[in-house]
């Protein structure tokens, strides 16, 4: 099994994916253990002094003015975990919780939090045992950390609350720890606070969304090319010299992908005698510009994610010179903004895909295709309602594109009077990514059927490879009406697991 070694300098996106989705084992580097021990010595020294230090010998948030005596500090750390584990609503997905836990461990191992090495080792042990704390949908405002989600994870480290075992059964966390020989942690000064105070949930969801969107943007280029071909459009608009004079890298990449898919097509440019065209509609002609803008948005979001993956987010933090200082690095604004930005790009990519699908089904704009791609129009409805489903998904995506990060709400008796709502931005982006996959699947389903209805004209070799792979996947082609939901579900899976891109690349080579 793959092993990810966590050091002091942060982790990579591939590390997060390996642990969250691939079940990779986690180990602490010797450097990380040394840094943990050194920072803990600093915290212990401050705890022994009479002067109050936030998070070490004081209360938290609006209660930070109270100095906590030594005999109450362990209770204080337990209490913050118990009281903050106040999530509600449905359970969060296993991969999100594993990413959340791993990223918190990453920050702990930076040596900036003052957590003891044994606490970090327990965090790694829980991940390696496949124990997943029960975390709920609601409870984070994206500031002072993803508090409730992280608290539910910390509760498991204490042997309290509920968690899911490797077999998928939810049981008391204490039982699961015992079965794996893991001793529950007894938290000391600052450790409870350090386990809760980070942007790890929203960051983990950002990293996974970026990975999914990498595949989906290439998938959208492929389906856009198939639709252009099925509509007998021109591929001249994909010429690299046209995109070079507006030098957005994402636009050039999308145009290059579409051109590669369409190479050798016998359909492009076949304008019918009774419906001559000078230009294709915007949804076809401007596909690289829209998808390219989304690609450039992905690049910006990836830069933010990389910076956050290298960060040590906690409050207070232990600095290299031994100072323990309060700060505002836990504010989720940098991550929240790009999560919202991605949701906007996703909604627009879905919107243009839906418009292309609608053109394929409209006999007045499809240049000779039967109405709704039906076998016997009137008797058969064809893909009429498949497009309704796609339109409903697009409408939902537009609602999900409304930014969460613009909706701060005060908390903690006005001490925490401006928050990022980054967790909420991440949650709605996950839904948006799922829905974009479905929208692309409907376009794929319609475009492959339309291409097969163009009798006497030969699709591009890459298009033919996609059609053949779709049919091998059990997704039926043209014919009389049938139960559509299974075909659409199969098309969704075909896009979701990357088979669409793989099929095209058997001819084109690697797409961008």
Which residues are known to be catalytic? 54
**Surface-to-core class of residue 413, CB atoms within 10 Å of its CB (0-12 exposed, 13-18 middle, 19+ buried):** exposed
d(CA 223, CA 120): 46
Cα→Cα distances 139→84, 198, 464, Å: 9, 14, 49
d(CA 32, CA 380): 66
d(CA 234, CA 363): 19
Q: How do the residues of the chain divide into helix, strand and coil, expressed in percent and rounded to 5?
A: 55, 5, 35
Residue 88, CA atoms < 13 Å, CB-side half-sphere: 0
Q: State the virtual CA torsion across 264, 268, 271, 275 in degrees, nearest 10.
A: 160
Mode of pairing for the β-strands spanning 25-28 and 3-6:
parallel
**Do the Cβ atoms of 21 and 96 come closer than 8 Å?**
no
Cα→Cα distances 406→268, 421, 424, 433, Å: 44, 8, 11, 21
**Do the Cβ atoms of 189 and 56 come closer than 8 Å?**
yes
3-state secondary structure of 28: strand
């Amino acid at each position: 099994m793959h092993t990810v070694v966590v050091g002091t300098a942060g982790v990579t996106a591939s590390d997060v994916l390996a642990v969250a989705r691939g079940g990779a084992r986690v180990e602490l580097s010797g450097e990380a253990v040394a840094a943990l021990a050194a920072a803990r010595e600093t915290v212990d020294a401050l705890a022994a002094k009479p002067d109050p230090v936030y998070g070490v010998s004081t209360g938290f948030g609006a209660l930070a003015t109270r100095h906590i005596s030594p005999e109450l500090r362990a209770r204080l750390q337990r209490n913050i975990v118990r009281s903050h584990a106040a999530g509600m609503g449905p359970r969060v997905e296993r991969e999100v919780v594993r990413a959340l836990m791993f990223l918190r461990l990453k920050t702990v191992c930076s040596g900036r939090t003052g957590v003891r090495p044994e606490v970090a080792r327990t965090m790694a042990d829980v991940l390696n045992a496949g124990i997943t704390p029960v975390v709920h949908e609601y409870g984070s405002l994206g500031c002072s950390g993803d508090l409730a989600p992280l608290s539910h994870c910390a509760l498991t480290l204490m042997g309290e609350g509920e968690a899911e075992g490797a077999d998928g059964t939810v049981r008391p966390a204490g039982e699961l720890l015992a079965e794996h020989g893991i001793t529950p942690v007894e938290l000391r000064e600052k450790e409870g606070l350090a386990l809760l105070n980070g942007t790890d949930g929203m960051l983990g969801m950002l990293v996974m969304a970026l990975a999914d969107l990498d595949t989906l943007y290439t998938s959208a280029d492929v389906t856009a090319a198939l639709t252009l071909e099925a509509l007998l459009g021109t591929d001249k608009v994909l010429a690299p010299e046209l995109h070079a004079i507006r030098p957005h890298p994402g636009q050039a990449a999308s145009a290059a992908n579409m051109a590669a898919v369409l190479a050798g097509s016998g359909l492009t440019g076949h304008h019918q005698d009774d419906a001559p065209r000078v230009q294709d509609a915007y949804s076809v002609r401007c596909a690289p510009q829209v998808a390219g803008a989304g690609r450039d948005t992905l690049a910006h979001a990836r830069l933010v994610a990389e910076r956050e993956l290298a960060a040590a987010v906690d409050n207070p933090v232990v600095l290299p010179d031994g100072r323990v200082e309060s700060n505002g690095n836990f504010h989720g604004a940098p991550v929240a903004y790009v999560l919202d930005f991605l949701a906007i790009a996703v909604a627009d990519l879905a919107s243009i895909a839906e418009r292309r699908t609608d053109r394929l089904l409209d006999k007045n704009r499809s240049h000779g295709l039967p109405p709704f791609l039906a076998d016997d129009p009137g008797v058969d409805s064809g893909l009429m309602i498949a497009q309704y489903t796609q339109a409903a998904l697009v409408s939902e995506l537009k609602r999900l594109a409304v930014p969460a990060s613009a909706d701060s709400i005060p908390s903690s008796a006005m001490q925490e009077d401006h928050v990022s709502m980054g967790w909420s931005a991440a949650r709605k982006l996950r839904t948006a990514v799922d829905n974009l996959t479905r929208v692309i699947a409907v376009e794929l389903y319609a475009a492959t059927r339309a291409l097969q209805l163009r009798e006497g004209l030969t699709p591009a070799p890459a298009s033919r490879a996609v059609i053949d792979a779709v049919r091998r996947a059990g997704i039926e082609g043209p014919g009389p009406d049938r139960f559509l939901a299974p075909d659409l579900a199969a098309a969704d899976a075909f896009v979701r697991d990357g088979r669409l891109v793989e099929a095209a690349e058997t001819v084109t080579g690697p797409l961008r």
